[in-house]
Amino acid sequence: MTDATEAHQTGPLTGLRIVEFGHFIAAPFATRVLGDLGAEIIKIEPPSGDPVRSWGEQLDGKSLWWSSHARNKKSVCLNLKDPAAREIALGLVAKCDAVIENFRPGQMEKFGLGPDDLASVKPGCILVRISGFGQTGPRAMEPSFGMIGEALGGIRHLTGHPPDVSDLPPVRTGVSLGDTVAGLYGAIGLLAALHEQKGLTLPQDTPVRIVDVALTESVLSLLEGVLPEYGALGKIRRPEGARLPAAAPSSAYACADGSFILIGANSDPLFAQLMRVMARDALIDDPRFIDNPSRVANIDAIDDEISSWTKSREPEALLAELQAAGIPSSKIYTAADIVADPQYQARGAVQAVRDPVLGQDILQPAPVPRFHGENPEGIAWPGPAIGEHTEPVLKGLLNLSDEDYRHLKDSGTIGSA
């Protein structure tokens, strides 16, 4: 593993430079995606560092998640409460193509880094703003996290079992879905704005191009037919547990050892094939199961049939039989299953990245998407130490002298590892 100041990032976004004023998850996830594709990411961190540095499992007091969360980024430590840091930040913006931030609306303006300030050094600068509720509306200034976006975006209502099955509260997905989806939309919006500007010569008075991403709206966009069904029929979709409410059979079924496998046989040919595997050919032409609407209407009956079959069988033999018949099916993977899976291994979907901060190789998911015909490294370096790249970035991009650098460091305006 080479040092970040020497490593060469490759990919289709090579040459694109982005400044990230982000913390926690949404904006940093957007820049991780862009960095994976070759963009140069300059992450501005306070002296205390991004709070995610202390999240999750630790190794010698250092976050394992950080290694992946902040990979391919250059950490520049600035105390934005210091007016001198503002000038440095604006100098970096002037050398970059876009800015991504996810503070509460108004915070960038308090730092002196609002849209007008950015436009003064970079006319037409693209500014991606990710927040809980967006930059406008009566709730714009309210604090929010990903879980609030998931609640107000409607997806938490759908996670869990139907009320007649369990009275436990709706569950989270196990990861910060609202934040990561908003981060993806931030990355997409940035690329769309860049495409819009492609080939244009922007006048000096061009205002900042703002890309406004709300956590709530990002989650809302995932809800498939929920809004059309409510608007046309007044129907409020309810949580369905492991089932797919619009197609059957598609659920998790218990095996003899108590584990679960997923079976998706919701097309007519797949349903017929599943019934043959189960030696229940007579059910293929049963009026209750003759087509998908009929199977959905009789979902309890068909799931009872499948469950009776799966509960008598061990999962390995069951999966082998289903997969031989071409029926989509799977065990529910843990991290150990993912690492051991031959398909993931064949595609290099899990990569071991040497992390000098942690002193060992750290497993990370490979960049997505991949581009056939190319083999970019993707993960050039893992998450850096706080301010690891302050000196090379400021001296390289802003031509800061050794004397000026020492003065700013001694005054607490900047920090370095």
Residue located via tokens 């997806």: 155
179 an active-site residue? yes
Q: Residue 287 and residue 294: Cα distance in Å, rounded?
A: 7
pTM of the model: 0.94
Please write the tens of the pLDDT for every residue from 222-261.
Answer: 999 999 999 999 999 999 999 988 899 999 999 999 999 9
Do domains 17-222+343-415 and 250-254+260-331 share one topology? The answer is no
Q: How many C-beta atoms surround the C-beta of residue 76 within 10 A? A: 28
* Contacts with 207 (C-beta within 8 Å, 6 or more apart), sequence order: 115, 116, 119, 123, 124
Q: Residue 102 and residue 31: Cα distance in Å, rounded?
A: 11
> Is the separation of the CB atoms in 105 and 136 below 8 Å?
no
User: Hey, what are 131's tokens?
Assistant: 């927040």
> Is the separation of the CB atoms in 40 and 354 below 8 Å?
no
User: Hey, what are 9's tokens?
Assistant: 């990032």
- CATH homologous superfamily of 17-222+343-415 equals Crotonobetainyl-coa:carnitine coa-transferase; domain 1 (3.40.50.10540)
> 405, exposed or middle or buried, with CB in 10 Å at 0-12, 13-18, 19+?
middle
Pick the CATH number of 250-254+260-331 from 3.30.1490.20, 1.10.390.10, 3.30.590.20, 3.30.1540.10: 3.30.1540.10
Per-domain boundaries in the chain:
17-222+343-415, 250-254+260-331
Compute φ and ψ for 343, nearest 5 degrees: -65, -45
What's the pLDDT score for residue 5? 46
Give one DSSP letter per residue of 339-362, joined into a string: HH-HHHHHHT-EEEEEETTTTEEE
What's the pLDDT score for residue 374? 63
Beta strands in 274-327 (DSSP E): none
Beta strands in 92-165 (DSSP E): 98-101, 126-131
Please report, in angstroms and rounded to a whole number, the separation of the first and last CA atoms in the chain.
18
Please write the tens of the pLDDT for every residue from 135-155.
Answer: 999 999 999 999 999 999 999
> Is the separation of the CB atoms in 346 and 357 below 8 Å?
no
Please work out, in degrees rounded to the nearest 5, the angle formed at the alpha carbon of residue 64 by the alpha carbons of 132 and 59: 135
- Nearest of 249, 273, 272 to residue 262 by alpha carbon: 249
Which listed residue (117, 179, 303, 355) is catalytic?
179
* Contacts with 104 (C-beta within 8 Å, 6 or more apart), sequence order: 131, 132, 141, 143
Helix axes 315-324, 268-277, angle to 10 degrees: 130
3-state DSSP assignment of residue 59: strand
Q: Is the dihedral of CA 275, 279, 283, 284 positive or negative?
A: positive
What's the pLDDT score for residue 7? 60
Q: Which residues pair with 414 in a beta bridge?
A: 78
Q: Is the dihedral of CA 242, 248, 250, 255 positive or negative?
A: positive
Task: List the chain residues with pLDDT less than 50.
Answer: 1-5
* Contacts with 258 (C-beta within 8 Å, 6 or more apart), sequence order: none
* Helical H segments across 97-138, by residue range: 107-110, 115-121
> Is the separation of the CB atoms in 250 and 265 below 8 Å?
yes
Query: What b-and-e string marks burial along 373-390, b requiring 16 or more CB atoms within 10 Å of the CB?
Result: eeebbbbbbbbbbbbbbb
Residue located via tokens 């309210």: 142
